[in-house]
Amino acid sequence: MPSLNGSPDDALAGGAPVQSAPIQNRDGRAASLSAAGARTSRSADAVESEPVRNAKPLVIGIAGGSGSGKSTVARRVGEALSQSSVAFLDMDAYYRNFSHLPMEDRKRVNWDHPDAFDVALFASQIGALCAGRSIDKPVYDFVTHTRSERTERVDGGDVLVLDGILLFTDAQLRDLCDVKVFVDADADIRLIRRLRRDVQKRGRALDEVIAQYLETVQPMHLQFVEPSKRYADVIVPRGGHNAVAIEMIVAKIQHRLRAQVS
């Protein structure tokens, strides 16, 4: 694979080590370059039958460690594809709902283990978008560690960009991706970015973020995330700052899109 160098549920508890408008980041309300309308329904897996697109979108999977710059790469790829409609799904929206647990127990859930995600729902909604149907994407509240009653409408597009730390650890999700990109970054850079995000955007205490990193984030990265790099078609060092790599990825996507219509 090329490396581009350019400018369940309670079992997880207890801390066991177990358009050219930009795509918004995962802490924002919008989830797509398409208009995303807020809904207040518990049926987060609801799928609408309209509208139906004729062609299957090109699915781009972007994985990598926490703080590696996955969302930045996804956003810049979306912005560069200004002549195509782009939809975005972040895997972080598909955490299992642990609202039945007390807050202190929720904090001890190993959020970095593959079992923390509702992969069945994620795969189902990817399939719906690939079939040309709109979906109601769940909204996760990272402050309370619960799934919101609100959902966000995501319409299909020419390109579907998937973003997730553990995206390539699941064979079903890997098979849904036409192009698999792994965003790489040094561990210290990833930690600094995570500290800033969790403290500033998610209201976490510094000591809590550091403890979570040492207890689950780092061990799970070594056990699951780093090994999943071998499934990538392209490895991008330095994340969103690697302009050459992003240009090459965009060129490859545009080539495939042209091939689909020819």
Q: What is the CATH number of the domain that holds 125?
A: 3.40.50.300
* 73 part of a folded domain: yes
- Does pLDDT of 187 surpass 80? yes
* 108 part of a folded domain: yes
* 61 part of a folded domain: yes
pLDDT at 2: 52
- What domain count does the chain have? 1
pLDDT at 115: 94
φ, ψ for residue 117 (rounded to 5)? -105, 145
Between 194 and 261, residue with greater pLDDT: 194
* 3 part of a folded domain: no
* 2 part of a folded domain: no
* 259 part of a folded domain: no
Give tens-digit pLDDT for 11-28.
454 444 333 333 334 444
Average pLDDT over residues 108-128: 95
Give tens-digit pLDDT for 94-112.
999 989 999 889 888 899 9
- Does pLDDT of 35 surpass 80? no
* 261 part of a folded domain: no
| Residue found by looking up tokens 């091939």 in the block | 259
Average pLDDT over residues 226-245: 91
Instruction: Tell me how far CA of residue 175 lies from CA of 126, 167, 253, in angstroms.
Output: 11, 11, 17
Q: Give me the domain span that covers residue 202.
A: 10-250
* 258 part of a folded domain: no
Between 86 and 47, residue with greater pLDDT: 86
Give tens-digit pLDDT for 124-171.
999 999 999 999 999 998 888 899 999 999 999 999 999 999 999 999
